[in-house]
Structure 1
Amino acid sequence: MSGYFSSDNALCDGGRFLIVGLPATGLSKDEVNVIREVQPAGFIFFSRNLENPLSFRNLVDQLRDLVGHEPIFTIDQEGGRVSRLKAFGSEPPGAKELGEKADLELIRAHGELTAQLLRLFGLNFNLAPVLDMDTPEREHNSLKGRSFSSDPQEVCRFARAFIEGLKSQGILCCGKHFPGYSFAPCDPHLELPQSFKSKNELEAFEWIPFRTLQNLCDSFMIAHIRNLHLDPSGLPASLSSPIIDIIRKEWHFDKLLLSDDIDMGAIINHYSLKETLELSLKAGVDILLLCHRFHLIREAAAILSALPESVKEQAARRVENFRMHLAPPLPYSQEQFQHIDHEIYALREKVLGKERAKQRSIEDGKRSPVEIF
């Protein structure tokens, strides 16, 4: 297990395919022991982990000391309502707002400032940008305000600028959510949606940003959505070999693939933990996001460890290749945080104007306590 502690504990073998969420702003003794034992590939942070800037950075540093490899530290910092770090700072403009402004320099600046903020907290990976389309159906799924445009070519232009800004400051990116939530009739946080688009229709519209930006993206996130045209068995994309084979075998994308959060209603209402983990890794996903059920981490690692080496080999290789590009942490400075936070608010004013900038977005209460991806 290159890059991991040498250990006789099989949980460590399975942990390398998990990014896990934490319950609170600090770690209990039991949680410390679980992390030491499982050695997860990385950690994802939510508003429940964010008390203040210094305590958050201390949490990141503590986690780094608990694992014997370079950990993936990630967050959903898209802008707008999906901006975790607005828990103690300014809210950046959202993708739809930036797309309506249509200023590439402002979008690139958004990427740069986002990356500077993440680096300050020791993070190295942003689960952004959204490459889905802005559609009338967005009111019924999780995408409201999170898409750059209803035009796939505009999504390509704007997402490229944002990604370039991120990567200029050393933060890796994730294009999401393949094969697309754009026309999903329901919210996957709550239930499993189904797409009725044919492969030709998807290639002609929704997949354009994914195909166009696949060489620039460091990873893709695989959605929990069913499409019988792509997989007649009805498995959601995140568990489906035929759907993931489109990326792996037709597009020749050999970089990291992550599942969307496997704690979403789209999955937990229909599949057991064992089914989810086994089907997903066998289908070609490399890392699974286990965001809200910390108590299942040991069980999840044991299930993954028991899979044949032939299933784990390629996923392990891609995880290690991804890890090689992770940026090291920068020293924390409260003054630097305040400077970046000021710049983010100034950008917000440039995009929205002074009056609209004062109005912060809120999450849809129906989705509480599960946070939007």
Structure 2
Amino acid sequence: MTHGPLMLDLEGYELTDDERELAVHPMVGGIILFSRNYRDPAQLEYLTRSIRELRPDILISVDHEGGRVQRFRNGFTRIPPMASLGALFMKDPEAALELAWDIGWLMASELLAYGLDFTFAPVLDLDYGTSDVIGDRAFSGRPDVVTRLADALIEGLHEAGMPAIGKHFPGHGFVAADSHVDLPVDERSFSEIDASCLKPFTALCPMLDGVMPAHVIYKQVAPEPAGFSPYWLKDILRRQLGFKGVIFSDDLGMAGAAIAGDYGARTHAALSAGCDMVLVCNDRAGALQVLDALEDYEFSPRSEQRLAALSVHSRPTLDALDADPRYNRVADLLESLV
């Protein structure tokens, strides 16, 4: 098995001895980086190279959407929040779509050059003006606008050679509560969700390489949060929408995941519901509990195959990126917008 079902985080700028041991554990298949893991481009390149010396095919990811959710800043092009694309779309749709493509391509090119495989983007939630945790991370409150702009950004990611991971299925933007610190409950019916939040996922499923469900209970649809729900993940996402890619849990350390029990119970609930990989961030003791819970776990060969498809085998070199006139044009343009 090349890719186990656990993605975990790191403490700082370099791998610790304990993290080196964890990285080669057969149930660990991915690493997610945060701002605390980034000092400058040279340090990031050293860190990702150190990880790959231990596990060449391990998946290295980050939340690097732009706006307030951009983990690497100094030395990276600043990416505007996606809501700025939605605002531009209302004035000049073609300019907004071109810019979305450029952002996807540049964002992916920079991350790939420094050894990462993907970012958890795009955000496909709708902005209803009620959720602070989503807010300007969303392209728009209109499903059609979100779909068109996300489609262009995904094309840019793919042009650079990076997978696209859509979140937070089937939509986090309607509820005010933040699933990092609370358990949001969406009271709408399936038909209401289907006619609004679900539309971008439905339209873009064929283009998405991964999906991350929300730690939100959709009370009239299923009793569990979407990330622990066989109905949402197997019946709707897999069977109804025909999604073929990877399903990632959101961080099992979030308050919205606690309803499923301790870390072992959360892990088994997420994997049984249909997740291919679970994330445990900012809680090393929790990650160790997950590894204990997975000791006798028979990992699905289909999940392993899906995860293996996310590995990147061709990357731009830093020198080639710096010499690319398209890269410099887009970087200058984006720097003028933030």
One-letter identity of the residue aligned with 1:112? W
Q: Contact 2:129 / 2:135 at 8 angstroms: preserved in 1?
A: no
Q: Distance in 2 between matches of 1:152 and 1:81?
A: 22
The structure showing larger relative contact order (alpha-carbon pairs under 8 Å, at least 6 residues apart) is 1
Aligned CA distance change for structure 1 residues 334 and 254 (closer, same or farther; 3 Å)? closer
How far apart are 1:250 and its partner, in Å?
1.7
The residue number in structure 2 matching 1:43 is 31
Q: Select which of 278, 285, 291 maps to 1:288.
A: 278
| Structure-2 residue corresponding to 1:9 | none
Give 4+ residue runs of structure 1 displaced > 6 Å after superposition: none
Match of residue 313, structure 2, among 313, 327, 332: 327
C-alpha deviation, 1:185, in angstroms: 2.2
In structure 2, the residue corresponding to 1:301 is in which secondary structure?
Answer: helix
Structure-2 separation of matches of 1:341 and 1:274: 47
Confirm whether residue 195 of structure 1 aligns to residue 194 of structure 2: no
The 10-residue stretch of structure 1 (36-45 or 156-165) with the greater mean CA deviation from structure 2: 36-45
Q: Which of 140, 145, 158 is the matching residue for 2:136?
A: 145
Code of the residue aligned with 2:5 in structure 1: it is F
Distance (Å, rounded) in 2 between the aligned partners of 1:344 and 1:261: 31
Q: Describe the superposition over 1:176-203 as per-residue Cα deviations: whole angstroms up to 9, x where unpaired.
A: 1001101122111111101111111111
2:242 match: secondary structure: coil
Match of 1:243 among 232, 245, 259: 232
Is 1:70 the counterpart of 2:57 in the alignment? Answer: yes
Deviations 1:126-171 (A, max 9, x none): 21001011112123xx102101111100111100111111110001
1:101 to 80, 88, 91: 88
Number of aligned residues: 330
Deviation at 1:275, TM superposition (A): 1.1
Between 1:244-253 and 1:17-26, the stretch displaced more is: 244-253
Work out whether residues 107 and 161 of structure 1, in 8 Å CA contact, stay in contact via their aligned partners in 2.
yes
Deviation at 1:254, TM superposition (A): 2.3
| 8 A contact 2:117–2:310 mirrored in 1 | no
Measure how far apart 1:312 and its partner are. Answer: 2.9
Q: Distance in 2 between matches of 1:289 and 1:345?
A: 35
> Aligned residue for 1:30?
18
Are residue 208 (structure 1) and residue 208 (structure 2) matched?
A: no
| AA at the equivalent of 1:194 | V
Aligned counterpart for 1:336 among listed residues 287, 297, 322: 322
Q: How many Å separate the matches in 1 of 2:294 and 2:83?
A: 38
- Which amino acid counterpart does residue 279 of structure 1 have in structure 2? A
Equivalent position of 2:150 in the other structure: 159
Q: 1:221 and 2:212 equivalent?
A: yes
CA distance change for structure 1 residues 202 and 336 in 2, over 3 Å: closer, same or farther?
same
- With over 3 angstroms needed to count, the CA separation of the structure-2 counterparts of 1:342 and 1:40, relative to structure 1, is farther
Q: Secondary structure at the match of 2:7?
A: strand
- For residue 122 of structure 1, the aligned residue among 110, 115, 124 is 115
Secondary structure of 2:185's aligned partner: coil
- In structure 1, the partner of 2:76 is 89
Instruction: Describe the SS at the equivalent of 2:171.
Output: coil
Partner of 1:362: none
Distance 1:337 1:27, change over 3 A: farther
Matches within 5 A, 1:349-364: 349=336, 352=337, 357=338
Q: For the residues of structure 1 that align with 2:124 and 2:141, how far apart are their CA atoms?
A: 10
With the length of structure 2 as denominator, give the TM-score of the two structures.
0.90
Judge conservation of contact 1:25–1:51 (CA < 8 Å) in 2.
yes
CA distance, structure 2, for counterparts of residue 62 and residue 341 of structure 1: 29
The answer to whether structure 1 residue 60 and structure 2 residue 45 are counterparts is no
Report the equivalent of 1:300: 290
Cα 1:270/1:247, change in 2 over 3 Å: closer
Shift of 1:235: 1.5
Please give the secondary structure, in 1, of the residue aligned with 2:138.
coil
- 2:31, 2:59 within 8 Å by CA — same for their partners in 1? yes
CA RMSD after TM alignment? 2.3
Residue 337 of structure 1: how far off its partner (Å): 9.9
Cα gap change, 1:329 to 1:268, in 2 (>3 Å): farther
Instruction: Report the CA distance between 1:81 and its aligned residue.
Output: 0.9
In structure 2, distance between residues paired with 1:151 and 1:107: 16
1:312 and 1:275 mapped to 2: Cα distance? 18
Secondary structure of 2:261's aligned partner: coil
Question: Structure 2: which 5+ residue stretches go unaligned?
Answer: 90-95
Q: Name the structure 2 match of 1:168.
A: 159
Stretches of structure 1 that go unaligned for 5 or more consecutive residues are 5-14, 358-373
* Structure 2 partner of 1:264: 254
Q: SS at 1:336's partner residue? A: helix
CA distance, structure 1, for counterparts of residue 242 and residue 218 of structure 2: 21
Q: Is the contact between residue 247 and residue 275 of structure 2 (CA under 8 Å) also seen in structure 1?
A: yes
